[in-house]
Chain A
């Protein structure tokens, strides 16, 4: 989309409690985007509500402590973060889970193991 040509690279926030997943995803994304990472839900909320909020959040669901659903719920409750698109990354592929996540306000679901070509244009 040339019309929206941005002077700066958009920032993607990756949220996952598994370091390997963070490494995999940031290697995939960092040539085209600025990548921030968070290994738990609390950290994700802190980064998302900072002065420079990310342009998009890739959010793992299954995390100890605060899970992805709760992170999404809290993001959508705050005016400062409610407009950041959230895509869930999940190992589960149950239809009800997807429905639940989308109803919480996520824009999409990507099932792990992820496909690099699908993640890139999203």
Chain B
């Protein structure tokens, strides 16, 4: 057992009320071990609770006042002493006594008069067992810490990758990455609101809510494949351009799928990202795109994303439109209840609309619009006053079909 080699000599505590027995046992043991002795149960408990504790206790049963059973019981009750192996030393050798002692947590019995080779053999065995046990325990703790550390690293890499990918898509059509931050927080807020709802509770576990939050930024990743002349067009898209714009859903889905295929295995959060990218433009009544899914066919993650995305699109200023007020956005979205949006998801949104407003304000674009529309009037800098003048075009499509 090289791994367990210890320089320290093990300490054995011998407990017996008979001085002769203490002398006999310590003579036997002291050539190999450090020996401590206790002439009563009380003293034994005191020595056992010192730091460092003994490595093993040889415990007489028949003692006045506190007997060996009681000492053992108290040792096993205290977390500091419960792992010290106890061997009973006894003149009694009734089977029931032995069973009682072992049930109290002792590891073995040695019958008096003791046989020195047996005492030495048992002590050696139980010390070896204890060391092995401690070694495994330390090893497990070490491994658990190591796993936690590596897991944390993997999570960080994952987060950075998602944000980098999402930012690529984002920077093409807005000035800041705040749309990503807002929508992922709207989605999380909605998920938390709906987690106890009978229709959604099965899906909205802690793990899935976390995954939703992380994968939400990838919902528009497919926009990297949309030509600038369409993505950045400062006006209404014509039908053929709109058809191209719609492909951002399948482009995003396919990009993530290719990544998955290259990895050769499916990763949970990528599956969720894929379904959000593909289906966040679907509508409850089946009039959305790209697959025209309806009702519960639309993945829950995508239904939450639809509400978050539309709200953000409505209140945000784009190259082709002004942002709306929070109140106006709510009014328009209400019209889409059970047609555009899952009614329960929309109701949850209405219930926590103040939270949406707060998120919008906290992660406002560096631009006066979102702030003014949501009720906060920031100090205007000269540059921002100019910016407003440029954004006067009408919304891309009527009512709720904004937020491509």
Contacts and interface: CB of A to CB of B under 8 A. Distances in A.
A109 B102 CA distance: 18
Nearest to B124: A107
A3 B125 contact: no
A95 B98 contact: no
B95 A109 contact: no
B115 interface: yes
Nearest to A108: B121
B118 A115 contact: no
A117 B107 CA distance: 11
B122 A3 contact: no
Interface string B78-97: 00000000000000010100
Interface string B116-127: 111011100100
Contact of B136 (A3, A98, A109, A118): A3
B118 A98 contact: yes
A95 B115 contact: yes
B137 interface: yes
A107 B140 contact: no
A116 interface: yes
Contacts of A84: none
A117 B115 contact: no
B121 A121 contact: no
Contact of B99 (A95, A102, A117, A122): A117
A3 B116 CA distance: 32
Contacts of B108: 118, 121-122
A40 to B, nearest CB: 26
Closest 7 CB pairs of A and B: A117-B98, A98-B117, A117-B99, A99-B117, A102-B121, A102-B117, A117-B102
Interface of A: 1, 3-4, 93, 95, 98-99, 102, 106-109, 115-118, 121-122
